[in-house]
Amino acid sequence: MQFIGEYKIAPELCESLIALHKAGAKQGLVVRGKLGTREGVVVDKKKKDSYDLGLITVPDALAEHHRLPEFYQALKACVDQYVEQFPIIRQLGAYHIGESPIIQRYKRGGGYRLPHCERTSLETSSRMLVWMAYLNDVTGGGTRFVYQKQTMEATKGRLLIWPPDFTHTHHGVVSNAGEKFIITGWLNFSE
């Protein structure tokens, strides 16, 4: 068992979220992708080459115009399905989206090349699950789960949920065929 849940969201939501990223870029809200290191949070394009829109920075009206609340409803439905598959989660502490989700754009040849996991220190220890959705089709692009020896292709509307620990170390599969958009975030323990 891989513990990687695979679900679907509507293509129209994907298109709206890409449009939200582009609108955020026009408003100066998109920043170069950063990664956490022992030395702190840094930009290192050799390891992660992305353009990130932290959704906490997006004005409510813009988020609503681009259907972000609808996406959160779709995400909740996917999480509910994951919990059905792994019912032990019901016995765990309460959880919620506790950190700002991010819409990321990877230009052709860009990607998150560095194998990494999502719970790496005391600072990220409240992360219970990771979720990510591909917002467009990308030939040759996707995500490689190292220890599962599994590559998930970047297919528009595919939403993945998995545990945040080192057991699910992963990295982006870089494509030279085109740009890739994803939305990603975490479910964090509330208590």
Residue 48 CB: number of other CB atoms within 10 A?
Answer: 23
Whole-model pTM over 0.85: yes
**In the prediction, which pLDDT does 97 show?**
97
**In the prediction, which pLDDT does 128 show?**
98
pLDDT in tens, the chain (191 residues): 699 999 999 999 999 999 999 999 999 999 988 877 666 677 767 778 889 999 999 999 999 999 999 999 999 999 999 999 999 999 999 999 999 999 999 999 988 888 999 999 999 999 999 999 999 999 999 999 999 999 999 999 999 999 999 999 999 999 999 999 999 999 999 97
Q: What is the CA radius of gyration of the chain?
A: 16
**In the prediction, which pLDDT does 17 show?**
99
**In the prediction, which pLDDT does 47 show?**
78
Query: Which residue, chain included where needed, has tokens 């919990």?
Result: 83
Evaluate whether 130 touches 85 at the Cβ level (below 8 Å).
no
**In the prediction, which pLDDT does 14 show?**
99
CA atoms of 11 and 135, how far apart (whole Å):
8
Domains and CATH numbers, the chain: 5-189 (2.60.120.620)
Could you tell me which of 117, 76, 120 has the C-alpha nearest to residue 96?
76
Assign 66 to helix, strand or coil.
Answer: coil
